[in-house]
């Protein structure tokens, strides 16, 4: 199967492959922005007032904008985190002759999707490079060093009747080595005890080229090492980890680069948040002050005061870009029957009467107009009344800033799986719509 990818699709798949964690996703976004002429700014310093592209990074979050005198802001928001397994502070454990890595479940993980996969280890590590000098370093071991084997059916005969049931505390601890200290004694007290409490630390230190004692803390996580792949008979689908929500982040970065510097009616802003999957109540999440404080500083750099800044919010728009549920062919009954969502049929506008999505008639109309101008097809998602509805950064941002907000995204299957599925054409649809929104807003 040979598939000719569009420039946007090829770029997004490359971004997914190089972004195993939120920190790597932000590093990738920053590199693309810098290559396009955007300048990194120090968040602790005054923002430069002259026109041009800027971006700042805080942990796993990034804000980029084009400094201009345009009234109001057009903000596209997405998030960099995905549900996964994250390394504990004391990760070294042993059981039954295996060395394992202790993990915490992060976000709403489809637990079964992490079984029998080749997993790597990546994240951010705090290192003391010299006495009193700390440095945050990115780490990635893309070798398949971790694996969570499923229990054989011969030892779980009831699985066909009752289904797979996983205890996140007991059943999601990856193995990564044979216990070199195991004596083969079934009564060994170490069978369920702690291993030498430094083997994970030593492995990470070796990868970073530092001594284990120099590692002070980490934010490490497992990831599926399999690269994104074009799939399907006709090569029009793709599978990858972290489609939710790095597809939106990648399309947002590339659309901002395309739209920035043009005569946009509002100041274009892109915000990529961390921690959406766990409620956004953090210093780098949508419920924190990061975006509001930065917008006020952008306005001040352009010569405005707080009164004019608050007035500009009333003339602004937020686009919350996050993955949308496509109608699953094997579970059609789980979807609202009059709102069928198909892959490669366009961007999905999400509505919810209880404001789990922030879209209303006014914000939706702006998207409909932009989509028509860019010839981007639209679809409409409504959740079933008898199932609880998820949410996004949209309602949080709308409530914090009082800006009209629309929720939308590219459709996908298997959301929150370690490996999700989506349509290649929808990457261009989302990119083109975001660029059009910025140009028309």
362 and 422: one domain?
yes
78 and 88: one domain?
no
In a domain, 394, yes or no: yes
116 and 96: one domain?
yes
Contacts 24+ apart (CB under 8 A), 383-390: 383/336, 383/352, 383/356, 384/334, 384/335, 384/336, 387/334, 389/352, 389/354, 389/356, 389/357, 390/356
Please state, in angstroms and rounded to a whole number, the distance separating the CA atoms of residues 349 and 409: 7
175 and 257: one domain?
no
94 and 191: one domain?
yes
Report pLDDT digits (tens) over 234-257: 999 999 999 999 999 999 999 999
163 and 183: one domain?
yes
Write down which residue in 160, 193, 224 finishes a domain. 224
In a domain, 229, yes or no: no
71 and 152: one domain?
no
In a domain, 235, yes or no: no
195 and 262: one domain?
no
- At residue 196, the pLDDT reads 56
Write down which residue in 224, 252, 283 finishes a domain. 224
Please state, in angstroms and rounded to a whole number, the distance separating the CA atoms of residues 428 and 187: 59
Q: What is the pLDDT along the chain (441 residues), one digit of tens a residue?
A: 678 999 999 999 999 999 999 999 999 999 999 999 999 999 999 999 999 999 999 999 999 999 988 889 999 999 999 999 999 999 999 999 999 999 999 999 999 999 999 999 999 999 999 888 999 999 999 999 999 999 999 999 889 889 999 999 999 999 999 998 754 444 444 445 554 559 999 999 999 999 999 999 999 999 999 999 999 999 999 999 999 999 999 999 999 999 988 888 999 999 999 999 999 999 999 999 999 999 999 999 999 899 999 999 999 999 999 999 999 999 999 999 999 999 999 999 999 999 999 999 999 999 999 999 999 999 999 999 999 999 999 999 999 999 999 999 999 999 999 999 999 999 999 999 999 999 987
- At residue 71, the pLDDT reads 87
113 and 196: one domain?
yes
Both tokens of 202, joined, read 């030593």
- At residue 197, the pLDDT reads 53
336 and 373: one domain?
yes
Burial of 330 (0-12, 13-18, 19+ CB in 10 A): exposed
Q: Domain of 368: which CATH number?
A: 3.40.630.10
Both tokens of 126, joined, read 């705090």
Query: Do residues 410 and 324 make contact, with C-beta atoms less than 8 angstroms apart?
Result: yes
In a domain, 418, yes or no: yes
37 and 113: one domain?
no
In a domain, 193, yes or no: yes
In a domain, 284, yes or no: yes
Q: Domain of 192: which CATH number?
A: 2.30.250.10
Write down which residue in 196, 224, 252 finishes a domain. 224
At residue 209's C-alpha, the angle toward residues 218 and 19, to 5°, is 55
**Number of folded domains that form the chain:** 2
203 and 263: one domain?
no
* Closest to 320 (Cα-Cα) out of 269, 389, 376, 278: 269
- At residue 10, the pLDDT reads 98
In a domain, 282, yes or no: yes
Please state, in angstroms and rounded to a whole number, the distance separating the CA atoms of residues 123 and 118: 17
In a domain, 234, yes or no: no
User: 396 lies in which domain range?
Assistant: 7-82+241-440
């Amino acid at each position: 199967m040979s598939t000719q990818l569009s420039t946007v699709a090829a770029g997004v798949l490359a971004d997914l492959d190089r972004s195993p964690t939120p920190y790597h996703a932000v590093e990738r976004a920053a590199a693309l922005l810098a290559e396009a002429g955007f300048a990194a700014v120090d968040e602790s310093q005054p923002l430069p007032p002259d026109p041009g592209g800027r971006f700042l990074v805080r942990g796993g979050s990034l804000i980029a904008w084009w400094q201009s005198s345009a009234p109001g802001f057009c903000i596209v928001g997405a998030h960099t985190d995905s549900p996964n397994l994250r390394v504990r502070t004391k990760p070294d454990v042993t059981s039954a002759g295996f060395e394992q890595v202790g993990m915490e479940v992060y976000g709403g993980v489809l637990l079964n999707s992490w079984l029998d996969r080749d997993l790597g280890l990546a994240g951010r590590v705090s290192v003391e490079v010299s006495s009193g000098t700390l440095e945050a370093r990115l780490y990635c071991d893309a070798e398949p060093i971790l694996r969570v084997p499923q229990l054989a059916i011969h030892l779980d005969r009831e699985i066909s009747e009752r289904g797979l049931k996983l205890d996140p505390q007991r059943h999601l601890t990856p193995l990564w080595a044979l216990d070199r200290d195991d004596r083969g004694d079934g009564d060994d007290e170490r069978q369920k005890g702690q291993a030498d409490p430094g083997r994970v630390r030593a492995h990470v230190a070796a990868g970073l080229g530092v001594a284990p004692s120099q590692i002070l803390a980490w934010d490490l996580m497992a990831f599926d090492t399999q690269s994104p792949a074009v799939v399907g008979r006709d090569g029009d689908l793709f599978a990858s980890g972290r489609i939710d929500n790095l597809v939106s982040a990648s399309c947002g970065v590339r659309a901002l680069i395309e739209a920035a510097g043009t005569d946009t009616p509002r100041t274009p802003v892109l915000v990529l948040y961390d921690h959406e999957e766990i409620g956004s109540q953090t210093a780098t999440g949508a419920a924190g002050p990061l975006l509001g404080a930065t917008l006020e500083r952008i306005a001040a750099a352009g010569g405005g005061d707080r009164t004019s800044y608050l007035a500009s919010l009333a003339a602004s728009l937020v686009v919350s870009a996050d993955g949308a549920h496509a109608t699953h062919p094997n579970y059609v009954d789980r979807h609202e029957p009059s709102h069928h969502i198909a892959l490669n049929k366009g961007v999905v506008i999400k509505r919810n009467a209880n404001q789990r999505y922030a879209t209303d008639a006014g914000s939706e109309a702006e998207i409909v107009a932009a989509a028509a101008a860019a010839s981007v097809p639209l679809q409409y998602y409504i959740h079933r009344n008898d199932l609880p509805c998820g949410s996004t950064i949209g309602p949080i941002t709308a409530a914090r800033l009082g800006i009209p907000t629309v929720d939308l995204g590219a459709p996908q299957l298997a959301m929150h799986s370690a490996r999700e599925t989506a349509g290649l054409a929808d990457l261009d649809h989302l990119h083109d719509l975001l660029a059009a929104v910025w140009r028309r807003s």
